Amino acid sequence: MTTTPQARLGDTAIIPLRTLDPAAALNDLEWLDDAIGDARVVAIGESAHYNRETYELRHRLLRYLVERHGFGAYAMETGFTEGRHTDAWIRHRNDQHADDQRGNDQRGNDQRRDDQGRDAQGRDAHGADDRLGRIMASGLTSLTGLWRQMGAHLEWMRRHNATAERPIGFYGIDLGGQNASLLPGLDAVSAYLAQADPGFDLDPAVRETSAAFAATSAFAAPATLAAYAQLPAGTKDALTAGLAALAVRMRGRRLEYVRRTGAEAYERALRSMRLVVTLEAVIRDMSRGDQRSVMYNRDAEIADTVEWILRREDRIVLAAHNGHVQRWPGVLPGMDPVTPMGMHLADRLGDDYLVIGATFGTGQMLNSDAAAFQSGTIFAPAQPPEPGSLDALMHASHDGPFVVDLRRLSAADTDAVRAATVQRAGFGTFHAPVSPLDAYDLVVHLPHVTGADPDETALACSPQEVREVFSHYKPQ
């Protein structure tokens, strides 16, 4: 690294963002008109999960790209199978899953009311419910839906769809089940097979074994992985074989299944099945401490899911961590580089894939101390960006939020960006190697970030361990 803490970009490189308010006028985003060209995928990164400013920025950018450029979907780093229920809600469609969940949880709700008088499904003492709260809690995974800013984003999508000639869709791209449990995907596949293959009985051992390490939230994931590690080797192998056999059966009987259910239902179930197979491999890799294989397998699969979405949508906004969207090998501490989703998509889509990376200066980020995170300290103060990093260069260049188009820089600014060879990775103080000019087309900088605001109704609809952890949460 040859940059210094005083290095900065020239004023001509800076495109100021007047506000992050999603409801404000959008004319300060007109730079997007030229920047995106004909790209089918506009990926928007983040330095760390669950920051208020990132949620607001993505909401605002989606609104612009939908209203001004006709983008048709928002695809997000959250579970694919679970995301179907969120999509149904924003499209004003009946979602039997949510109705079934409400009915199944009725018994005993009067004994499980929180301090706002709501039961586990978000109903108050008079029986009124909030469907959005249930969607935020169970239609998005890994805590991504539990924040008021995300709820506002979903509400805007639903309002837009109420009158839009071309409604927009919502898709999860991730493996699902908090990236630790096979049951959401496996149960969706089983429900599909009840219609497509009514004479077929899934081996009970497949679900029984899957249930032995089922996580209901990100907070339960460590115990889930420990439970998986305790399974006998033969049981794990039988699960792998059973899932492989089920996937082969679904592919081999495609024509029969499509005749019974239609092509779209089949393709969605097959994608869920593929994600279950990959997630089982990822869990096995995690139990062995093979984080590199975890990242290889996960990112290749979520890239396949994005391609699946593009067979249904013309243009999409894709929201995920920088480490997933970047066109540059991903690195974690002590690990050799791996191929992220963004490199797969760049290889497959070429100029149809555009990447907006993200940096920030000061504030809060996701707590990398696992024990503190599990006890309710969700966020921790962020250390200043490392001198010579992309974050430090951006932070020194302008006081407010702004964007830089890396493809339109002066020679001096290009050299300054090229000299910034690391970037804040969102895990404590770790800065990952990066070549910004290769990884991103544009970079947005947020000078100060804070934790998003927990949504009380979504929390009331969440599993017990989530409510317990958030009962100790105090904003920093």
Note the pLDDT of residue 105. 42
Angle at which helices 96-104 and 131-138 cross, to 10°? 100
Angle at 409 between CA 404 and CA 413, to 5 degrees: 95
Residue 74 covered by a domain: yes
Q: In residues, how long is the chain? A: 476
Residue 52 covered by a domain: yes
**Nearest to residue 318, comparing CAs of 330, 305, 329, 328?**
305
Residue-range definition of the domain harbouring residue 322: 1-81+317-476
pLDDT digits (tens, 9 = 90+) for 112-124: 334 334 444 444 4
Report how far apart, in Å, the C-alpha atoms of 426 and of each of 158, 250, 324, 368 are: 31, 39, 12, 8
Residue 151 covered by a domain: no
pLDDT digits (tens, 9 = 90+) for 5-49: 459 999 999 999 999 999 999 999 999 999 999 999 999 999 999
Distance CA 251, CA 215 (A): 28
Q: Where are any strands of DSSP class E within 51-207?
A: 73-79, 169-174
pLDDT digits (tens, 9 = 90+) for 221-271: 999 999 999 999 999 999 999 999 999 999 999 999 999 999 999 999 999
Residue 55 covered by a domain: yes
pTM of the model as a whole: 0.93
Q: How many domains does the chain have?
A: 1
On the 0-12 / 13-18 / 19+ scale of CB atoms within 10 A, 330 is buried
Report how far apart, in Å, the C-alpha atoms of 279 and of each of 80, 178, 235, 295, 448 are: 12, 10, 16, 11, 35
For residues 420-447, give the mean pLDDT.
97
Residue 162 covered by a domain: no
Angle at 341 between CA 265 and CA 378, to 5 degrees: 95
Residue 2 covered by a domain: yes
DSSP letters, 246-304, are: HHHHHHHTHHHHHHHH-HHHHHHHHHHHHHHHHHHHHHHHHHTT-HHHHHHHHHHHHHH
What is the H or E stretch that residue 405 is in?
A: strand 402-405
Query: How would you classify residue 346: left for phi > 0, otherwise alpha for psi between -120 and 50, otherwise beta?
Result: alpha
For residues 437-452, give the mean pLDDT.
99
Residue 342 covered by a domain: yes
For residues 41-60, give the mean pLDDT.
99
**CATH classification at residue 329:** 3.40.1660.10
Count CB neighbours of 249 within 10 A.
15
353 pLDDT above the threshold of 60: yes
